[in-house]
Chains A and B, each alone.
Chain A
Amino acid sequence: MRKLLSLAATATLALGLTAGIASAEDPLKVGFIYVGPVSDHGWSYQHDQGRLAIEEHFGDKVETTFIESVSEGPDAERAIERLARSGHDLIFTTSFGYMNPTVKVAKRFPDVKFEHATGYKQAENVATYGARFYEGRYIIGQIAAKVSETGTAGYIGSFPIPEVVRGINAFMLGAQSVDPDFKVKIVWVNSWYDPGREADAAKALVDQGVDIMVQHTDSPAPLQVAEERGIKGFGQASDMIKFAPNAQMTAIVDDWSEYYIARVQAVMDGTWEGGDTWGGLDQKLVHIAPFTNLPEEVAAEAAATTEAIRKGELVPFSGPITKQDGSVFLEEGQQATDEQLLGMNFYIKGVDDQLPK
Chain B
Amino acid sequence: MSALEPILLTIITASTPLLLAAIGELITERSGVLNLGVEGMMIVGAVMGFAITAMSGSPYLGVVASMFAGMAMALLFGFLTLNLMTNQVATGLALTILGLGLSGMLGEAFIGQPGIKLPVLHIPGLSDIPFIGTVLLSQDILVYISLALVAAVYYFLFKTRAGLVIRAVGDNHTSAHALGYSVLKVRYLAVLFGGACSGLAGGYLSLVYTPQWVEGMTAGRGWIALALVVFASWRPLRLLVGAYLFGAVSVLQFHAQAAGIGLPSQLMSALPYLATIVVLVIISRNQAVTRANTPACLGRPFSPDR
Contact = CB atoms under 8 A, between A and B. Distances in A.
Interface of A: 1-2, 4, 36-41, 69, 154, 157, 160, 185-191, 193-201, 203-208, 210, 219-221, 224, 242-243, 352-354, 356-357
A208 B269 CA distance: 19
B254 A200 contact: yes
Nearest to A40: B214
Contacts of B111: 39, 41
Contacts of A356: 264-266
A260 to B, nearest CB: 22
Interface stretch (B3-11, B22-30, B133-141, B150-158): B3-11
Given A199-B210, A243-B212, A207 B255 contact: yes
Contacts, number: 127
Contact of B265 (A2, A160, A195, A210): A160
B112 interface: yes
B258 interface: yes
B260 interface: yes
**Nearest 6 CB-CB pairings of A with B:** A37-B215, A188-B265, A204-B254, A190-B269, A194-B219, A39-B111
Interface of B: 3, 6-7, 10, 13-14, 17, 97, 100-101, 104, 107-108, 111-114, 205, 209-212, 214-217, 219-221, 250-251, 254-255, 257-260, 262, 264-266, 268-269
Contact of B251 (A1, A160, A204): A204
B260 A354 contact: yes
Contacts of B220: 194
Contacts of A353: 260
23 contacts: A37-B214, A37-B215, A39-B104, A39-B108, A39-B111, A39-B112, A187-B257, A188-B257, A190-B265, A193-B219, A198-B210, A200-B251, A200-B254, A204-B7, A206-B6, A208-B259, A210-B258, A219-B214, A221-B210, A221-B212, A353-B260, A356-B264, A356-B266
B215 A40 contact: yes
Nearest to A244: B114
A221 B214 CA distance: 10
Contacts of B114: 224, 242-243
A224 B219 CA distance: 18
Contacts of A189: 254, 269
Nearest to B108: A39
Nearest to A188: B265
Contacts of B216: 36-37, 69, 193
Contacts of B259: 185, 208
A36 B113 CA distance: 18
B163 to A, nearest CB: 32
Nearest to B10: A203
A69 B100 CA distance: 11
Given A40-B214, A195-B212, A190 B14 contact: no
Nearest to A227: B114
Contact of B217 (A157, A196, A204, A207): A196
Contacts of A210: 258
Contacts of B13: 200
Contacts of A208: 255, 258-259
Contacts of A37: 104, 214-216
A252 B14 CA distance: 29
A204 B255 contact: yes
A200 B210 CA distance: 10
Contact of A242 (B100, B112, B255, B265): B112
Contacts of B104: 2, 4, 37, 39
Nearest to B17: A196
Given A187-B254, A203-B6, A195 B217 contact: yes
Contacts of A188: 257, 265, 268-269
Contacts of B264: 356-357
A154 B214 contact: no
Contacts of B14: 196, 200
Given A201-B254, A207-B255, A219-B217, 17 more contacts: A2-B97, A4-B101, A37-B215, A39-B111, A39-B215, A41-B214, A69-B216, A185-B259, A193-B219, A196-B217, A197-B250, A203-B6, A205-B258, A207-B6, A219-B214, A221-B210, A353-B260
Contacts of B7: 204, 207
A224 B7 CA distance: 18
A154 B268 CA distance: 18
Nearest to B110: A39
A207 B3 contact: yes
Contacts of B221: 196
A197 B251 CA distance: 8
Nearest to A201: B254
A169 B17 CA distance: 36
B212 to A, nearest CB: 7
Nearest to B103: A2
A48 B215 CA distance: 15
Contacts of B205: 195-196
A224 B101 contact: no
B219 A195 contact: yes
B266 A190 contact: yes
A201 B217 CA distance: 16
A187 B252 CA distance: 11
B210 A196 contact: yes
A42 to B, nearest CB: 9
Given A188-B265, A190-B269, A243-B212, A197 B257 contact: no
B101 A2 contact: yes
Identify the interface centre among B108, B205, B212: most chain A CB within 10 Å of its CB.
B212
A200 B250 contact: yes
A247 B171 CA distance: 55
Nearest to A187: B257
B112 A187 contact: no
A41 B215 CA distance: 10
A69 B258 contact: no
